[in-house]
Chains A and B, each alone.
Chain A
Amino acid sequence: MRRWLIAALVLLLGKLRRRRALPPGPPPREPDRKAENATFVLLFLSMLASAAFVVLYVANPDTQFLGLAVGFALLALAAACAVAAKRVVPEVQGEEPRPQLLHVDDQEETLAALRQGGEGVSRKRFFLLMGGGAAGLLGTALLAPALSCGPDASRVLTRSPWHRGRRLVTERNEPIVADGIVPGELLTAFPEGARKEQLASPVVVVRVRPDELDLPEERKAWAPDGLLAYSKICTHAGCAVSEYRYPLHDPTAPGPALVCPCHYSTFSVTNGGNLIFGPAGRPLPQLPLEIDGDGHLVAAGDFSGRIGPSWWGVRRG
């Protein structure tokens, strides 16, 4: 706190000092109106692109157009800066041959030369307004995605559509026949009637030989006939766990595991999704399964732990 106060004080003093105006001198140079206008146009274009980003983000968040808008805003701003630096603000190189300034006249001369740097620009206020506007709008555009992280976000992330008795369906909304899944196959399934885009919706279903299973005591009933389901969302960074390593012959190949293609987090299938390799910090949540009277797969409850990527505070189950 004290440090901040001191910093504020120093800033204030600096501002007061700058108030002491330099003595007036002759206007040294004609402003380059053409370059100034070009700068204004570029700054205006940058503002338009930034505003377009915000509008697009709210109305139709297509990443291609969002990228184009923000890219164009940055490009126009950069071009405006380049034109201003090259053409609007005069560059004067001065040498000071004197060892010291003893005479008042010399001092005035030097001050006048110093002021030249800022004097060759007309409409300085407008410049400040346009530059500030462009930078401000760009800042707004970059902050716009924060709209998506309302107070609701954590609830959306953790809400699970799974409950006891909910049927599993394929991508084409067909119920899954338990006997149709062969060992070595990786099937992506969703809860019947729920939104597939929801983070907790997709699961992967695999079948192993029942004698291969090594589940903890409380999960013994979760894998009927060796059928297992795990969340498809990696607990590391939230990628889709889309690789399945299923050895044909265990003694000569690594064990069955689900692998995330992003950072190679590898989760064992047979012992409840524990991590074998990779950066993930916790096991893949398991979904208990049942087979209903028609031979279709249904959920027998909710996940064994929290689904989705890990962030602060979410390291365990």
Chain B
Amino acid sequence: MRLLLAAVVVLALASSAQATGDPQRGRELFRTGCQSCHGVDARGIRGTAPSLHGAGAAAADFYLSTGRMPLDAPKRQPDRTEPPFNRQAIDDLVAYIGSLGGPPVPQVDVARGDLAEGQRLFAENCAACHQIAGRGGVMAGAYVPTLLKATPRQIVEAARIGPYVMPVFSKEQLSDTELASIARYVEYAKNPENPGGWELFDIGPVPEGMVSWLIGLLALLLVIRVLGKQEAP
């Protein structure tokens, strides 16, 4: 009985940990940290920063937990940094932005995803920009961030909201289970299995191909040298 009670308490704590944010405190934090760009009551300032009404808790959690917001210069591409707010402050801000409407923070269960399916979906939907190894790259008009530090929750949030110039992936295009598979593949790609040999920093097939080219060219040069060697008369 006592065990059951303890379990109930732990469960209650765990579920409340998801939503411990206090919107009132979040509003105070918003006034000092965000209002100069996003405007009074998060209504946005034309030409500087968008309104956050309808942005939703998912977007707030993504931008704040990856340290992309607050942004020191509004014209710059938001890059991943160490978040200046602690977890409690982020939860408060997320609760406040969430109270203005929009999609909630998604729940991700990576264990429900399938690794092989995740790789297929990642190759189809994400690898064009993020590279199959998830190490990022460039795109016309933006840098593509690496996914090394992204948590499964941040990956799902990014897919649903489409931050900066990234496209949106709606539930019709990628279901929750499919996104969980993708998140699982990204988790795997952070530290992929190595059957042996030199992993070359896991940055994908292009450098690996380059290295095999270099080795192949060296081998060819050796063959040429052996063949062309003149015997002493």
Contact = CB atoms under 8 A, between A and B. Distances in A.
Answer whether A and B are interacting partners: yes
Interface string B142-174: 100000000000000000011111111110110
Contacts of B167: 184-186, 244-246
A245 B165 contact: yes
Interface in A233-284: 242-249, 251-254, 257, 259, 261, 264, 266, 276-278
A249 B172 CA distance: 24
B196 interface: no
A154 interface: no
Contact of A254 (B141, B161, B227, B233): B141
A93 interface: yes
Contacts of A182: 168, 170
Contacts of B75: 252
A193 interface: no
A112 interface: no
Interface band, chain A: 20 to 34
A183 interface: yes
Contacts of A253: 77, 141-142, 164-165
B162 A277 contact: no
Given A187-B173, A243-B128, A251-B48, A257 B140 contact: yes
A276 B165 CA distance: 16
Interface string A146-187: 000000000000000000000000000000000011111111
A7 interface: no
A86 interface: yes
Contact of B172 (A180, A245, A259, A278): A180
B74 interface: yes
Nearest to B227: A82
Interface in A44-80: none
B164 A247 contact: yes
B141 A266 contact: yes
B164 A243 contact: no
Interface string B34-72: 000000000000111110000000000000000000000
A243 B75 CA distance: 22
A85 interface: yes
A247 B128 CA distance: 18
A91 interface: yes
Nearest to B47: A251
A119 B76 CA distance: 78
B110 interface: no
A251 B74 CA distance: 10
A185 B140 contact: no
Nearest to B233: A93
Nearest to A176: B172
Given A248-B50, A248-B164, A277-B140, A185 B128 contact: no
A278 B141 CA distance: 12
A85 B165 contact: no
B170 A180 contact: yes
A91 B232 CA distance: 11
B139 interface: yes
A118 B222 CA distance: 28
B231 interface: yes
A253 B162 CA distance: 13
A261 B170 contact: no
A132 B21 CA distance: 81
Contacts of B100: none
A303 B186 CA distance: 38
A254 B141 CA distance: 6
A253 B227 CA distance: 59
A243 B129 contact: yes
B49 A246 contact: no
Given A180-B172, A253-B165, A261-B129, A85 B227 contact: yes
Interface of A: 82, 85-86, 91, 93, 180-187, 242-249, 251-254, 257, 259, 261, 264, 266, 276-278
27 contacts: A82-B223, A93-B233, A180-B170, A181-B170, A183-B168, A184-B162, A243-B129, A243-B139, A245-B140, A245-B165, A246-B165, A248-B50, A248-B161, A248-B162, A251-B46, A252-B74, A252-B75, A253-B77, A253-B141, A253-B142, A253-B165, A254-B141, A254-B142, A257-B141, A259-B140, A264-B139, A264-B140
Interface of B: 46-50, 74-75, 77, 128-129, 139-142, 161-170, 172-173, 223, 227, 230-231, 233
